[in-house]
Amino acid sequence: MILVFDVGNTETTVGLFTGEQLRGHWRLVTEVARTPDEFGVLLLALLERAGFDAQAVEGIAIGSVVPPVTGPLSQACALYFRVPPLVVDARSRLPVRLEVDEPLTVGADRLINTLAASQLFGRDAIVVDLGTATTFDCITADGAFLGGIIAPGVRTSAETLTRRTSKLPATELSLPTQVIGTRTEECIRAGVMYGAADAIDGLVRRLKGAWPRAEVPLVIGTGGLAETFGKVCREFTHIEPYLTLRGLQMAHAILSGGVADTLATSPFATGEYEP
């Protein structure tokens, strides 16, 4: 089994694969500082509770945009699973091309989404990843990352609204029952959710209008809110909530023969991480 980690700014999504099959997945809060031992105990407990044998884990891949988490998580994997983790970043030798001005600044999640979208669909695609930020990744069928858009995430926008207004309550991110709200909570929910949906559709249309190739790109929604927005975003053609996890599994399959090279440049291996 292969264990993979998509470490985002707000949440860390964990996936367990047997071959290409996603057997289990969990979400952890990234913002909670954890030691390697805390990570190890938590991960072992999650696997055990779901009925999986931790000793059957034979490979681990980490894609992280939060360097302070990468180190202790990598240590936990090495100590508790006895498996050297493979850290995937812009320096990893993957069949993707970063056709942007500063390739090494491309986040691991966008790199991994490029791999997954090109391998799974074999079509030009726009991947809309609904996380702390909403990212729009422009990807060609043959695995080129052309760049894209980074916009405020839906949750970030909602929290900013309620935090900066004294009488507006915090509201869960679910679709409202009607567009015209008759209670304050429903008004907020309609504004946040439908406003975000229309913004996503509008940005996708702009990207399609600027697309440098003749082929009309697919639009793939992913991330924790992908299934929710898949119901109201008219530009989405596919919903793949765990696209990044699948990309990490692919990256591990491709890079597992060169784990030592990849680890040699990670903060965990170079000693740049300080607990």
Which CATH number goes with the domain that contains 251? Answer: 3.30.420.40
pLDDT (0 to 100) of residue 164: 59
Q: Please write the tens of the pLDDT for every residue from 237-253.
A: 999 999 999 999 999 99
Domain that holds residue 165: 122-241
Residue 117 lies in a domain: no
Q: Do 234 and 255 belong to one domain?
A: no
Residue 116 lies in a domain: no
Residue 220 lies in a domain: yes
Q: Please write the tens of the pLDDT for every residue from 204-218.
A: 999 999 999 999 999
Which amino acid, 251? A
Q: Do 29 and 45 belong to one domain?
A: yes
Q: Do 126 and 153 belong to one domain?
A: yes
CA distance 45 to 122: 38
Q: Do 195 and 138 belong to one domain?
A: yes
Residue 258: pLDDT band by 50, 70, 90 thresholds? very low
For residue 263, give the nearest of 86, 72, 63 by alpha carbon: 86
pLDDT (0 to 100) of residue 170: 56
Q: Do 237 and 260 belong to one domain?
A: no
pLDDT (0 to 100) of residue 270: 38
> Does residue 232 contact residue 238 with C-beta atoms inside 8 Å?
no
pLDDT (0 to 100) of residue 10: 87
Residue 275 lies in a domain: no
Q: Do 72 and 152 belong to one domain?
A: no
Q: Please write the tens of the pLDDT for every residue from 101-127.
A: 999 999 999 999 999 999 999 999 999
Residue 210 lies in a domain: yes
> Does residue 2 contact residue 8 with C-beta atoms inside 8 Å?
no
Q: Do 48 and 79 belong to one domain?
A: yes
Number of domains in the chain: 2
Average pLDDT for residues 70-97, to the nearest whole number? 94
Give the chain as a 3 state SS string.
Answer: CEEEEEECCCEEEEEEEECCEEEEEEEEECCCCCCHHHHHHHHHHHHHHCCCCHHHCCEEEEEECCHHHHHHHHHHHHHHCCCCCEEECCCCCCCCEECCCCHHHCCHHHHHHHHHHHHHHCCCEEEEEECCEEEEEEECCCCEEEEEEEEECHHHHHHHHHHCCCCCCCCCCCCCCCCCCCCHHHHHHHHHHHHHHHHHHHHHHHHHHCCCCCCCCEEEEECCCHHHHCCCCCCCCEECCCHHHHHHHHHHHHHHHHHHHHHHCCHHHHCCCCC
Q: Do 174 and 255 belong to one domain?
A: no
Spatial neighbors of 16 by CB under 8 A, at least 6 apart, are: 1, 2, 3, 4, 22, 23, 24, 25, 47, 52, 57
Q: Please write the tens of the pLDDT for every residue from 128-185.
A: 999 888 999 999 999 999 999 999 888 877 777 766 565 555 566 778 788 888 787 7
Residue 71 lies in a domain: yes
> Does residue 5 contact residue 73 with C-beta atoms inside 8 Å?
yes
Q: Which residues are catalytic?
A: 109
CA distance 167 to 163: 9
Q: Do 126 and 165 belong to one domain?
A: yes
Q: Do 237 and 126 belong to one domain?
A: yes
Residue 170 lies in a domain: yes
Residue 167 lies in a domain: yes
Q: Do 64 and 165 belong to one domain?
A: no
Q: Do 137 and 189 belong to one domain?
A: yes
CA distance 257 to 242: 24
Give yes or no for residue 89 having a pLDDT over 80: yes
